[in-house]
Amino acid sequence: MYHNLCMKHNRWWRDCVGYVIYPQAYLDSNDDGIGDLRGIESKLDYLRDLGINLIWLGPIFKSPMEDNGYDVSDYLSIAPEYGTMDDLKHLIDRAHELGIKIILDLPLAATSDEHPWFQMAIKDPDSAERGYYFFRKGKLKDGELVPPNNWASFNSIPAWTKVPDSDEYYLHIFAEKQPDLNWSNPAVRKSMADVALFYLNLGADGFRIDAMAHLSKDMSFSDSNLPDHGNGFVLDTDKFSNRPEVGEYLKEFSDALNVDHDPCLIGEAGGGITPENAARLASIENGPVSMIFNFDTVWNNGAFGSIDKKDEEIKTDLVLLKSNFQRWYEKCHGVADMPLYWCDHDHPRVLSQYGSEKYRNESAKCLLTTLLFLYGTPFIYYGDEIGMSNVTYDKPEDFFSDSATRTDVAYLRSKGYGDEQITHYLNRCSRVNSRTPMQWDRGENAGFSKKGSVNKVNGNYLQGINIYDQMRDPWSILNFYQYAIWKRRDALLNDAVINGTLEFLDFYNPDVFAYRHVGASCELIVVSNFTEKEVDFPFYHAIGEVILQNYDNVYLRDHTFHLRPFESFLLRIRNDE
């Protein structure tokens, strides 16, 4: 009988509420200033109580940490600062005892330049490892050696770095210390499938396939025809994003894994993947991956690259946000599973983007309610459950743990921006905002570590934004999260959310995000005011039950909701009339 290896076994992730842990910043068990696996293990009970049953663990492999672990120098060793292979095994086993699955972040599009493969490739041009990467001869221009083509990397420099004492360059679409792997080479694909199998055999439940969109490059390496950025180079993501071969590579990869396992494989797809393409890759029937993370619903407030903007100009474009969720839903529902998230370690905190620090409590709850009941598997970013927000650091150097931010700062300074303006911008946009220590209590460093931390702790942990205080406050964001997550996991509600149809209500309303699910045995409506003002919202449905609310009463009169700032409801609708 023909056995389609791509066939997913039971799509267990549809019953999950996920949680994202950035290992460096979660909890430091040995007070060396760096979060670690034992720290995470000691908080599994907390996560179980919160209702989490799936963890996406940021990269934990051995790495020089140029890109905080996304630059791996040995895939089969754990970074010593995070612990040992035994610690990982313990963590996974303990999580499983508590009913929590763990997926590992696997950066497989590039390695560190300190990986032995790359070291060998540089040392011996005739080695097999040379073919693991992209080496190309430079071009002569006016008697000078220049990179093989005009591609820029995401870090805004040429995407090529010259090999010392040679006329060849290697390709890196991110930092110089992250040479890209050549996935057209079968030996690379086999090595990566072996790495993945090793961790599945250890007990991992799947992977976040980091930078999945970039697994394939335009192998003609022809120049981009887009206008350059003034320095002769151009970031033309089409040259290395979402190219057709990505699907073939992933199929081979997932076929190798699916023989003996049932992993959840979540592709991270930047570079403007279309919902159509994602629905193919994550197709329930024969797609190689389980779900695709897309970026269409982040930055819908004009904050990206907003150095020249005033604070007042940063405003959530709610119709755009709704249309992005709708587009993805329409292409994926019934055809492919989808993850849901507001932000991750690559973006500033959602509370400071779409929410409001002034209405922290209300907006944190509103954001959760709105996301949690959309179609897909929700992923909560660590710290969002207590309303963690962006930092207020004093100078650009405070953000320098992140190489991408360092590159940005160098660029902005070269353009003449002063440090005050740059700092203001970074406090709004740097991804370091979401990499500060988890705020556990009112102790030193918010209870994260006695030693300190890679990124400075956000001082607001002393104003109640910590787990300890919020556990003791019945109206806290944390207690709301716990209640809401358990509701989301209720089988009846989950069925309506995953299998029911989704329809946006009053779609063009610029202030209110409202939608309805009609499930087989239950009808749900979410109504969320995404503004700091009071707004009226017409409502003609019969409320059976108010399941979630973030104010203590409901003003519904004459078929109109009088919504207060960031007021939000999850309602069960009576359909017995």
Q: What residues pair up with 489 in beta bridges, in sequence order?
A: none
32: partner contacted, choices Ca ion, ligand GLC, none (Cβ within 5-8 A by kind) = Ca ion
Whichever of 114 and 495 has its CB closer to ligand GLC, that residue is: 114
What spatial distance separates the first Cα and last Cα of the chain, rounded to whole Å? 51
Q: What residues pair up with 104 in beta bridges, in sequence order?
A: 57, 207
Please enumerate in sequence order all residues whose Cβ is within 8 A of that of 75, keeping only pairs 6 or more positions apart, or say none: 61, 195
Nearest distance, CB of residue 31 and Ca ion, angstroms: 7
Q: Determine which one of 28, 180, 236, 268 is catalytic.
A: 268
- What is the footprint of Ca ion within residues 9-68 (CB under 5 A)? 28, 30, 32, 34, 36
Contact map string, positions 218 to 257, toward ligand GLC, x by CB under 6 A: ----------------------------------------
174: partner contacted, choices ligand GLC, Ca ion, none (Cβ within 5-8 A by kind) = ligand GLC
Nearest distance, CB of residue 574 and Ca ion, angstroms: 53
Report yes or no: 463 and 441 within 8 Å, Cβ to Cβ: no
Query: How crowded is the C-beta side of 157, counted as CA atoms within 13 Å?
Result: 17
DSSP per position, 486-520: HHHT-HHHHHHHHHSEEEEESTT-SSEEEEEEE-S
Nearest distance, CB of residue 106 and ligand GLC, angstroms: 11
Whichever of 34 and 367 has its CB closer to Ca ion, that residue is: 34
Per CB under 6 A, 70 contacts ligand GLC: yes
DSSP per position, 239-262: GSSS-THHHHHHHHHHHHHHTT--
d(CA 208, CA 118): 23
User: Does residue 210 carry a catalytic annotation?
Assistant: yes
Nearest distance, CB of residue 208 and ligand GLC, angstroms: 8
Whichever of 32 and 357 has its CB closer to Ca ion, that residue is: 32
Whichever of 44 and 212 has its CB closer to ligand GLC, that residue is: 212
Contact map string, positions 181 to 220, toward ligand GLC, x by CB under 6 A: -----------------------------xx---------
> Which string of b and e fits 119-155 if b means at least 16 CB within 10 Å?
eebbeeeeeebbebbbbeebeeeeeeebbbbbbbbbb
Report yes or no: 18 and 52 within 8 Å, Cβ to Cβ: yes
- What is the footprint of ligand GLC within residues 332-351 (CB under 6 A)? 345-346
Closest CA to 424 of 565, 552, 547, 311: 311
Whichever of 113 and 362 has its CB closer to ligand GLC, that residue is: 113
- What is the footprint of ligand GLC within residues 444-483 (CB under 6 A)? none
Q: What stretches of 418-542 adopt beta strand conformation (E)? A: 501-505, 512-518, 523-529, 535-538
Report yes or no: 462 and 439 within 8 Å, Cβ to Cβ: no
d(CA 135, CA 148): 9
User: Does residue 576 carry a catalytic annotation?
Assistant: no
Pairing assessment for the beta strands 18-21 and 560-563 based on DSSP bridges = unpaired
Nearest distance, CB of residue 121 and Ca ion, angstroms: 33
d(CA 132, CA 120): 10
Report yes or no: 7 and 255 within 8 Å, Cβ to Cβ: no
Q: Determine which one of 180, 210, 385, 511 is catalytic.
A: 210
Nearest distance, CB of residue 424 and ligand GLC, angstroms: 23
Nearest distance, CB of residue 110 and ligand GLC, angstroms: 6
Whichever of 174 and 513 has its CB closer to ligand GLC, that residue is: 174
Query: Which residue's CB atom is positioned nearest to ligand GLC?
Result: 70
385: partner contacted, choices Ca ion, ligand GLC, none (Cβ within 5-8 A by kind) = none
Contact map string, positions 86 to 125, toward ligand GLC, x by CB under 6 A: ---------------------x------------------
Whichever of 277 and 434 has its CB closer to ligand GLC, that residue is: 434
Nearest distance, CB of residue 341 and Ca ion, angstroms: 27
**Among positions 36, 41, 66, 67, the unique one binding ligand GLC when judged by CB under 6 A:** 67
d(CA 192, CA 102): 19
524 backbone dihedrals φ, ψ, rounded to 5°: -125, 145
d(CA 119, CA 312): 49
Positions in the binding site for Ca ion (CB under 5 A): 28, 30, 32, 34, 36
Positions in the binding site for ligand GLC (CB under 6 A): 67, 70, 107, 174, 178, 210-211, 268, 345-346
Active site residues: 210, 268
